[in-house]
Structure 1
Amino acid sequence: MLLQGLDVVLVKTRFPENIGMAARACANMGCPDIRLVEPERWLPDKARPLATAKGLPVLDGVRVYDDLPAAVAESALVIGTTARVGGWRREILHPSAAASEIVTALRDGNRVSLVFGPEDRGLDNAEISACHRVLTIPTDEASSLNLAQSVLLVLYECAEAMRRAQRAERDADHPAAPHAEKSISAQEQERLVAALKETLLAVDALHGDNPDYFLMPWRRLFGRARLRRHEYDAVMGLCRQVQNALKRQRS
């Protein structure tokens, strides 16, 4: 399919009918996978009529997870969606800019997760913190969109970006060589952030009652950089060396 490697992740979805419509949107735009996180009601028989015949293969492949980190663990890039900005929701991307990053990651051989929150309230701050990047769909007076509409709009931008990239490659004298090394996964990035947090706390460089909030710029940086394995090993090694030096100093 056109967007092979892209997972649409639906968090705490309330209505199975919306999952069915999202499956149809995925099929329309060439996205093969939907992952559900703690759905309020997962009733496939309610979802199937809204998926239509074209969306049934996507619907039949749905996987359910207990939490968001588990659902996105394999992905090198995790992009959340939000209608609210400010606070934890900074460096907001337009869907077309997000699509460009998604397509670049997919063409590098990485897995990508596109995360949508529940219909009534969207992603909360903890869920946003699990995302490397955040996008919002510009609207006029009414800021909220139906879940399936949001999925369709963002996937349309991704499909168009992928087609442009494929056309550019065909028109080039020779295709670009793929990267030799994939980016680290979201699960590995979480290990890296945890190691960095421990190190910054140890050197008293992380202050306040909410250190996770002040770690957000690092999360965003790592998400944009899409670190390769040797870069991940280098930063993890640095954290270990700093912590070991502090232990020797205190002993």
Structure 2
Amino acid sequence: MLLDRVQIVLVKTRFPENIGMAARACANMGCPGICLVDPERWEREKAAPLATPKGQNLLDKVLVSPTLAKAVGSSSLVLGTTARTGGWRKALLAPGQAAREVAAALARGENVSLVFGPEDRGLNNEEITHCQRLVTIPTDAAASSLNLAQAVLLMLYECANAVRAAGLGDAEKDDAPATGRAVTAEEQERLMGALKEMLLRLDYLHGDNPDYFL
């Protein structure tokens, strides 16, 4: 598949129908996997009609994870999507910019996770700490929120275009030379945890919000 090392991660999804539509989007764009993090409801029979025949296989393989950290643990690049800006949400990428980073990671043989928050509120501040990069889809200011499946489709479309532009079809990826292994998100979490503990013991991090300054 065109995006065979990319997984869609849906956090605390509320409606199975949106999962079905996301599965159809994944099938359309050659993305093989969906992982649900603590979904409010996961009912395959409600998702199935909106997945269409092409998305049924993806519904059969849906993974469910209790935490976002575990869901993205094997990925070296984790991109979170957000409609909000400011505060911790800085250096936001446009979808095309994010897609080029995805294509570069895939060319190196790395796993990628694209993370989407709940339909009603998006990713919260704690959840975005598990994402290395944040992406925002420019919309009209009067209607900034996209349907979940629409956002999934748009991001995967940009990623598929970037992969094609980089000449990374399935045949080219199969023949790509092996390079050094990239660190995974799980390993990065352990590193940051150790760094935080050390800086707290040195009293370098202090105040009411040490995570922000970290």
If the TM-score is normalised by the length of the shorter chain, which range does it land in?
A: over 0.9
Judged with a 3 Å threshold, the aligned counterparts in structure 2 of structure 1 residues 104 and 54 are, in CA distance, closer, same or farther, namely: same
Which AA in structure 2 matches 1:90?
A: K
For 1:178 and 1:120, locate their aligned partners in 2 and report how far apart those are by CA, in whole Å: 43
Is it true that 1:162 corresponds to 2:127 in the alignment? no
Classify the secondary structure of the residue corresponding to 1:93. Answer: coil
Name 1:63's counterpart in structure 2. Answer: 63
Equivalent-residue separation in structure 1 for 2:198 and 2:211 (angstroms): 13
- The unaligned stretches of length 5 or more in structure 2 are none
Is 1:138 paired with 2:175?
Answer: no
Counterpart-to-counterpart distance in 2, 1:80 and 1:40: 20
Describe the shift of the 1:106–1:167 C-alpha distance in structure 2 as closer, same or farther (beyond 3 A): closer
Distance across 1 between alignment mates of 2:110 and 2:200? 32
Unaligned runs of 5+ in 1: 171-175, 216-251
Tell me how far apart the structure 2 counterparts of residues 40 and 177 of structure 1 sit (CA, whole Å): 40
Q: Based on CA coordinates, which of the two structures has the bigger radius of gyration?
A: 1
Query: Amino acid of the residue matched to residue 45 of structure 2?
Result: D
Pair 1:30 & 2:30 matched: yes
Report SS of the residue matched to 2:167.
helix
Number of residue pairs the alignment of both structures matches: 209
RMSD value, Cα:
1.6
* CA positional deviation for 1:103: 1.1
1:2 alignment partner in structure 2: 2
Q: Could you list the per-position Cα deviations for residues 120-147 of structure 1 after superposition, in whole angstroms to 9, with x for gaps in the alignment?
A: 0000000011111100000013100000
Question: Do the aligned partners of 2:7 and 2:32 also contact (CA within 8 Å) in 1?
Answer: yes
Aligned-partner residue type, residue 24 of structure 2: R
Output the CA distance in 1 between the equivalents of 2:104 and 2:168.
14
Matches for 1:54-203 after TM superposition, within 5 Å: 54-140=54-140, 141-166=142-167, 178=177, 180-203=179-202
Aligned CA distance change for structure 1 residues 67 and 24 (closer, same or farther; 3 Å): same
1:177 Cα deviation from its structure 2 partner: 6.4
In structure 1, C-alpha distance between the alignment counterparts of 2:50 and 2:34, rounded to whole Å = 15
Q: CA deviation at 1:179?
A: 5.4
Tell me: higher relative CO, structure 1 or 2? Use CA pairs within 8 A at least 6 residues apart.
Answer: 2
Deviating beyond 3 angstroms after TM superposition, the runs of 4 or more aligned structure 1 residues are: 176-179
Q: CA deviation at 1:178?
A: 3.9
1:212 and 1:25, CA in 2 relative to 1: closer, same or farther beyond 3 A? same
Counterparts in 2 of 1:182 and 1:12: CA distance versus 1, 3 Å: same
SS in 2 for 1:166: coil
* Maintained 8 Å contact 2:119/2:147: yes
Aligned match of 1:41: 41
TM superposition shift of 1:18: 0.3
Name the SS of the counterpart of 1:200 in structure 2.
helix
Q: Secondary structure at the match of 1:190?
A: helix
Structure number with the higher helix fraction is 1
Q: Distance in 1 between matches of 2:7 and 2:35?
A: 7
TM-score normalised per structure 2: 0.94
The answer to whether the Cα contact below 8 Å between 2:10 and 2:34 also exists between their aligned partners in 1 is yes
What amino acid does structure 2 have at the position aligned with 1:128? I
Identical aligned residues as a percent: 65
